[in-house]
Amino acid sequence: MVLTTSCLNDSNDSSSEMTKEQVAYCLAKVKGNYTGNLIYLAKNIKDVKDNTDTLKINWSITNDSTMTIKNFPTRLLASNISDEKLKAALAEQPDQDIECRIGFINTSPVQYLINPKSPSYTVNHDGKDHKIQVAFYVNSTNSFGTYNETKKELYMQIIEGAIFMDDKQTAYLSDVTPFAFEATKN
């Protein structure tokens, strides 16, 4: 699978807001537990055409506004940090669940925007403890999910967009980082 940006409808037409019935329909299609692949950028020095890797990950959609990605690997969030000491310190932190707010935007195919909450870590950097938060794109068609009813597969993507230290945005993230997911419902 290639990491891509969304082709979701960018219409700003406020009359296209979903009805309660449409939201219930979408939730019925995607509610549940998932085990699938997390696809992330990873350079293979032996094959320049191989630039992604995968690992198994779980997530659940419990209601029409909440999705939880279980035990998201902190080392992947740290992988594009430019400060090597901070990168190493963050990579040692335990994996965390990432709670996401979702909002359905289409019924055919079922599609939704994903707004991940920023996981927070206490990291010792340069001899002091600091609160580190990893922020993702929110309210963006680049952080989205879509359900392929024919294949019974759910695809989604979130984008790591910034690193905050002690509640201030830093320039430590060397590049925005997409994470793609694919799975069938358990």
Give the largest CA-CA distance in the chain.
54
How does residue 185 score in pLDDT terms, banded at 50, 70 and 90? Answer: confident
By residue count, the chain amounts to 186
* Model pLDDT, residue 48: 67
Distance CA 125, CA 122 (A): 10
Using the predicted structure, report yes or no on whether residue 14 has a pLDDT greater than 60: no
Assess contact for 143 and 158: CB atoms under 8 A.
yes
Tokens of 9: 């409808």
Q: How many helices (H) and strands (E) does the chain have?
A: 3, 11
**Which residues contact residue 103 at a Cβ distance below 8 angstroms, ignoring those fewer than 6 apart?**
65, 112, 113, 115
pLDDT for 29: 95
Instruction: Kindly state the average pLDDT of the residues 156-164.
Output: 97
Alpha-carbon distance 13 to 99, whole Å? 28
Phi/psi-derived region of residue 136, left when phi > 0, alpha when psi is between -120 and 50, beta in every other case: beta
Do the strands 96-107 and 66-72 form a parallel or antiparallel pair, or are they unpaired? antiparallel
**Predicted confidence (pLDDT) per residue in 86-135, tens digit:** 999 999 999 999 999 999 999 999 999 999 999 999 999 999 999 999 99
- The HSE-up count of residue 67 (CA atoms within 13 Å, CB side) is 28
Distance CA 80, CA 176 (A): 8
**pLDDT tens digit string along 132-156?**
999 999 989 899 999 999 998 999 9
Q: Which residues contact 125 (CB under 8 A, 6 or more apart)?
A: 83, 85, 86, 89, 132, 165
- For 39-96, how does the pLDDT look when each residue is reduced to its tens digit (9 = 90+)? 998 866 666 666 678 999 999 999 999 999 999 999 999 999 999 999 999 999 999 9
Q: Is 22 helix (H, G, I), strand (E, B) or coil?
A: helix
The torsion region of residue 77 among left (phi > 0), alpha (psi -120 to 50) and beta comes to alpha
- Specify the 3-state DSSP secondary structure of 9: coil
| Residue 186 confidence (pLDDT) | 85
